Structure 1
Amino acid sequence: MKITVIGAGAIGGNLARKLSTAGHDVQVAVARGPENVPAEVLESGARAVTPDTSVQDRDVVILAIPFDRVPQLAELFASVPAETMVIDTSNYYPHLNGHIDGLDNEQVESLYNAEQLGRPLVKAWNAALAATQQTKGVPAGTPGRIAVPVAADSDEARRVAMRLVDDTGFDPFDAGRLADSWRQQPGTPAYCTELNVKELEAALAAADRAKAPRTRDDLMERFAAFTSAPTLEEVVEMNRSAHH
Structure 2
Amino acid sequence: MDDARDEVAPSAHRAVGILGAGRFGAAIARLCRDAGIEVTVASSGDDPAAACAADVVILAIPLGRYRSLPADLLRDRIVVDVMNHWWEIDGARPDLEDPTTSTSETVAAFLDGARVVKALNHASVWELENLGRPAGDPDRRGIAVAADDAGARAAVAALVDALGFDPVDAGPLAAGVMFEPPTEIFGSDATAAEIRAMLDRFPRSQRGRVVARARGKA
What is the TM-score when the length of structure 2 is the normalising length? Answer: 0.82
Instruction: Tell me, in whole angstroms, the C-alpha distance in 2 between the residues paired with 1:194 and 1:53.
Output: 32
The aligned counterpart of 1:8 is 21
- 1:29 is matched with 42
| Highest RCO, 1 vs 2 (Cα 8 Å, sep ≥ 6) | 2
**Closer, same or farther: CA 209–93 of 1 in aligned 2, 3 Å:** farther
Q: Which residue of 2 aligns with 1:117?
A: 111
Q: Is the 8 A contact 2:84 2:121 kept in 1?
A: yes
- Secondary structure of the structure 2 residue equivalent to 1:123: strand
Report the identity percentage. Answer: 34
**Aligned partner (choices 158, 162, 166) of residue 163 of structure 1:** 158
AA aligned to 2:52 is V
Q: Whole-Å Cα distance in 2 between the matches of residues 101 and 22 of structure 1?
A: 39
Mean Cα deviation higher: 113-122 or 125-134? 113-122
Equivalent pair of 1:2/1:26 in contact (CA under 8 Å): yes
Report if the CA contact (8 A) 1:86-1:120 is conserved. yes
Alignment of 1:67-216 (within 5 A): 67-73=63-69, 76-82=70-76, 84-106=77-99, 107-118=101-112, 119-208=114-203, 211-212=206-207
Q: Relative to 1, partners in 2 of residues 1:60 and 1:94: Cα closer, same or farther, differing over 3 Å?
A: same
CA distance in 2 between partners of 1:62 and 1:2 (Å): 11
Output the CA distance in 2 between the equivalents of 1:13 and 1:79.
22
C-alpha offsets along residues 142-168 of structure 1, whole Å, 9 cap, x if unaligned?
A: 112110101011111111101111122
User: TM-score under structure 1 normalisation?
Assistant: 0.74
Change (3 A) 1:90 1:81: closer
1:39-50 equivalences under 5 Å are: 50=47
Q: Can you give the 5+ residue segments of structure 1 that lack an aligned partner in the other structure? A: 34-49, 216-244
Gaps of 5+ in 2: 1-13, 211-218
Deviates more, 1:14-23 or 1:176-185: 14-23
Question: How far 1:208 sits from its partner (Å)?
Answer: 4.4
SS in 2 for 1:137: coil
Matches within 5 A, 1:47-66: 50-56=47-53, 58-66=54-62
Aligned pair count? 195
Contact 1:183 1:209 in 2 (8 A): no
Q: Residue 4 and residue 189 in structure 1: after superposition, are their counterparts in 2 closer, same or farther (change >3 A)?
A: same
In structure 1, C-alpha distance between the alignment counterparts of 2:146 and 2:66, rounded to whole Å? 18
CA drift at 1:209 = 8.4
* Partner deviation per Cα, 1:12-63 (whole Å, 9 max, x = no partner): 1111111122121211101133xxxxxxxxxxxxxxxx3234313x211111
Does the C-alpha gap of structure 1 residues 105 and 70 become closer, same or farther in structure 2, counting only changes over 3 Å? closer
In the aligned structure 2, how far is the partner of 1:120 from the partner of 1:81?
A: 8
The 8 Å contact of residues 71 and 110 in structure 2, kept in 1 or not, is answered as no
Report if aligned partners of 1:86, 1:122 keep a CA contact under 8 Å in 2.
Answer: yes
Match of 2:10 in 1: none
Q: Secondary structure at the match of 2:21?
A: coil
Larger Rg: 1
CA distance in 2: counterparts of 1:137 and 1:93, whole angstroms: 26
2: CA distance, partners of 1:9 / 1:133: 13
* Matching residue's letter, 1:112: T
| SS of 2:84 mapped into structure 1 | coil
